Amino acid sequence: MIFGGDKLNLSRLKYWWNCYAQDAPLLVNMYGITETTVHVTYKSLSPKNNFKAANIGKPLNDLKAFVLNTQKNLMPIGALGELYIGGAGLARGYLNQAELTHESFIDNQFATTDDKAKGYNRLYKTGDLVRWRHDGNLEYLGRNDCQVKIRGYRIELGEIESALSALKDVKHAAVVDLESDNHKYLAAYLIKASSMVSDIDIDIEACRNSLALKLPDYMLPATFTVLDSIPLTINGKLDRNSLPTPEFVNADKYVAPRNELEEQLCNIWQEVLSVKKVGIADNFFRIGGDSIVSIGLVSKMRSEGFSLQVKDIFDAPTVAQLSRLLNAQATRIKIKTEQGVLTGAFDLLPIQSWFFAQKIENPHHFNQTFIIKIPGEIKYTEIEQALQALTAQHDMLRCVSLKKESLKTTSYQQQYRDNTDGMCEPLYALNIADLNSEELCKKLTQLQSNFNYINGPTWQAAHLTGHIDGRARLFFAFHHLIIDVVSWRIIAQDIKQLLTKQLLTKQLLTKQLLTKQVLTKQALPPKGSSYRQWVRAVQHYALNHQDERTYWQGVCADQAGLPDLGTVAYHKVSLSVHQSDVLLHQGNLGFHTQINDLLLSALAISLFEVLGSDVNHVTLEGHCREVIDETLDVSNTVGWFTSMYPVRLKAQQTISATIIHTKEMLSAVPHKGIGYGALHQQQAFAMTLPKIIFNYLGQLGAQSDNEESSTWQVSQEDAGAMIASDNTDHLLVNINGAVQAGILTFNIAPRL
């Protein structure tokens, strides 16, 4: 008995086997199409068959089957492709339809000498999706026109249906693409296997987890709906219009907030990540967040009255999880802080010790600068008052270095001063209307060229007016010893709070609406843990993690010298806004990565192509605000926290293998590398950092659709020369990247 015409569901034959197992004629599942004289492949069936997918067997003796990709290349066993048929029986074409004939009947590039002698010079393009099984049979998955595109990925619905039907509790499955609020998603409809107890439903979570082991993340359905039967049209095809509207219950797809707290958290995430829609199941690190952005998120949430640490974002990376964590805060550890004006001397962090060990030519001109756009109506005196409050809030802005010399060595400590005398030059006012870009750059360089980390000043601010957009700018320059890139965000946020409170106060005074509550409300939240407390915590970490020495020695064991690269030129590489958005918000979904996993995978491949070695050692910079002491919170503390540590990159044979290897390598680094510098400072080992340095600074400014929305953001405008031209370091190449205004840019520069 031969049958065909549609995808075989083997479970439909159980009744036949039960009734006619002994005397039944042979059942043969045939696959074929009119263009190939009806029959192409066949599969003899028996009660012992246990395959769940539609097995269409092997080609008839005078036909050949080829599984090809879109470039007409042969696909390996198990890989999805389109079925092409060659050999005897092919039609000559479609009557009076030359164009369709040309599209469907192509040259047979695989024809053997014998094929050519018999005239088998063509292949028929079936439009059916199949793959070879290990036993030499073909597995039918569906039509090529059932291919959909979601989040930039082309997806074969039949492949998902096949994987679902292979699950033990699923008798039959249908998958369709739907749309909700302009978001396309996949919806699965399931019929439970007859072997299941009637009053027990399919375990959807177990189905989802099993499916995740077989399919990439982007092919996982957003919803799962259990039905008694799949609705069919009169022709026996899936009736999409009769399918019920699914409910969202799946992770990693949009799930709306269920209460006021979740709604508030979603709104904060949307603001920090600059995305239009965040659901309670969205993973922070897969929709654009990274370890640096998490610090900004915690700072923002603290300003909204929440009490949490950066560690909490890693432990609870979705709004739903974080909401539960915040609701259980009664037993949280009390954070140790130092309030008031701090004074006294204390030791250096490892990165500061590294700086002094470099013995650079002009160490006092080694700065970090940035510019913030502010409303044009803010007055000079109001900025002065805000800067005074900023200095009272952040003790490192009153910190200098103490030089201690002996007969053999020179060492340094640092010290909080109890006042700002000499620490900062007066606020500089500059109208830039008549200056060109070169003149402005020169002026801003002059403003930061007279720092002195021993006696002061160590920082400078300037009020820049005269811009054609009507807004002003706040220029900041700090010696690097007292600041890092994470601190930029902190200062930008605090300046915004201080100045907007002044603006609000003025407006209320004008309208005679000022209340005592507004006057007494503190503009900035209480201080977190101090930089001095963090220094002590890092020293304590080194004493208690001596076992890490073996790990770091292993990382550096086979470090090879770099070849002579000749003159290393400066390069600037940028992605488009769209590419940057895809990388940040979709790129991490495939392998459940974080952004640094992908960037360093790309670097591993690039170094292999440039240097010729598949193994290359690189120095990484990290923000070094890891949770090494749960009683400390430095998410809102200004200072130079940066860590530097070596990693061993290895390019694999494929991009996916490189991503997996890099992700696993980075996840194995203890506490994001903080121990390398801590142990090195304690002279636990003597190793040299690799001479290629990589530093991804994160998202420094949100993408904005209009100019006004970029107010209070760190600007991309040129802020002058941060480092004196005569300063050099031990590095060969500096690779620094960041996202500003929604664009990922990397600067590849030679040594300083």
Q: Is the pLDDT of residue 752 over 60?
A: no
Helix pair 350-358, 674-681: axis angle to 10 deg: 60
Tell which wins on pLDDT, 425 or 331. 425
Residue 252 banded pLDDT, cuts 50, 70, 90: very low
pLDDT at residue 565, as a whole number: 63
Nearest Cα to Cα of residue 216 among 173, 163, 179: 163
Tell which wins on pLDDT, 409 or 631. 631
335-344 confidence digits (pLDDT tens):
889 999 999 9
Rounded to an integer, the average pLDDT of 618-640 is 89
Among 153-162, 193-202, 319-328, 361-370, which is the least confidently predicted range? 193-202
Rounded to the nearest 5 percent, the helix, strand and coil shares of the chain are 35, 25, 45
Among 19-28, 98-107, 628-637, which is the least confidently predicted range? 19-28
Q: Is the pLDDT of residue 725 over 50?
A: yes
- What residues form DSSP beta bridges with 413? 402
Q: Is the pLDDT of residue 601 over 90?
A: yes
Residue 97 banded pLDDT, cuts 50, 70, 90: confident
pLDDT at residue 381, as a whole number: 92
Residue type at position 489:
R
pLDDT at residue 183, as a whole number: 62
| Prediction pTM value | 0.61
Among 108-117, 234-243, 568-577, which is the least confidently predicted range? 234-243
In whole angstroms, what separates CA 438 from the centre of its chain?
36
In whole angstroms, what separates CA 21 from the centre of its chain?
56
Among 149-158, 229-238, 713-722, which is the least confidently predicted range? 149-158
Which tokens go with 310?
């950066």
Q: Exposed e or buried b for every residue in 86-115, given b needs 16+ CB within 10 A?
A: bbebbbebeeeeeeeeeebbeebeebeeeb
CA distance 630 to 646: 26
Q: What is the 3-state secondary structure (H, E, C) of 490-559?
A: HHHHHHHHHHHHHHHHHHHHHCCCCCHHHHHCCCCCCCCCCHHHHHHHHHHHHHHCCCHHHHHHHHCCCC
Proportion of the chain above pLDDT 90, given as a percent: 32
Residue 217 banded pLDDT, cuts 50, 70, 90: low
Q: What backbone torsions phi and psi does residue 615 show, to the nearest 5 degrees?
A: -115, 125
Tell which wins on pLDDT, 314 or 491. 491
674-696 confidence digits (pLDDT tens):
999 999 988 867 778 898 999 99
Residue 216 banded pLDDT, cuts 50, 70, 90: confident
